[in-house]
Chains A and B, each alone.
Chain A
């Protein structure tokens, strides 16, 4: 049973379109993330949610809007897609206890390869 699952795995779309990527985790974790991996494999945090609350928004354009309907889901909606948005997007989750002590690893999904043409 997949721990962190993303859909779709591949997404090819034209500039200017709006698209969504869905993420679900069945690990019971309370923190979820979106990371962007560029063509050089560099990973950069985009958003982080803890218990459905936005914690980190790392200077991401307003065209990107995350939504967390519950602790197990974190979706990413992208408006007006641009060529530079082409990348692999990874969803991840981790468990962080209430005292803020976090030494736990994050579990990653398989990634969504977005290609904007």
Chain B
């Protein structure tokens, strides 16, 4: 079945540091890939997405590139801020058939210190 593997957290960085959160997936075919963010006490918000190989999703300074050859979708940001502290989830969804669900990774807690 489908699965998503994220790097284990927690990740603690200083403000303006470079961020990478690794995500790899196992799925048949060509799924769509997503990064969601969950701020404390809130629901999940879509951060960015990519729907086909070599697509790059970007939003709020975050980027991730859909790499079919390595089945990866790593999240990066060049300079994190304290306000980026949250839990980040990588997820996939099939682009066909009756697979009506998002499959999530276990989440990575990011804490950014001033």
Contact = CB atoms under 8 A, between A and B. Distances in A.
Task: Determine if chain A interacts with chain B.
Answer: yes
Interface of A: 4, 31, 33, 40-43, 45, 48, 50, 55-56, 58, 90, 92, 96, 100-103, 105-111
B95 A101 contact: yes
Nearest to B107: A41
Contacts, number: 66
A42 B107 contact: yes
A101 B101 CA distance: 12
Interface in B75-91: 87, 89
B98 A100 contact: yes
16 contacts: A42-B104, A43-B104, A45-B102, A55-B98, A56-B101, A92-B44, A100-B98, A102-B32, A102-B100, A103-B32, A107-B46, A108-B43, A108-B45, A109-B43, A111-B42, A111-B43
A54 B93 CA distance: 18
B114 interface: no
A51 B88 CA distance: 30
A55 B95 contact: no
A44 B51 CA distance: 22
B96 A43 contact: no
A77 B101 CA distance: 20
Given A45-B101, A90-B44, A111-B43, A102 B96 contact: yes
B61 interface: no
> Which 6 A-B residue pairings sit nearest by Cβ, starting from the closest?
A103-B32, A108-B43, A108-B44, A103-B51, A48-B100, A43-B104
B69 to A, nearest CB: 20
B104 to A, nearest CB: 4
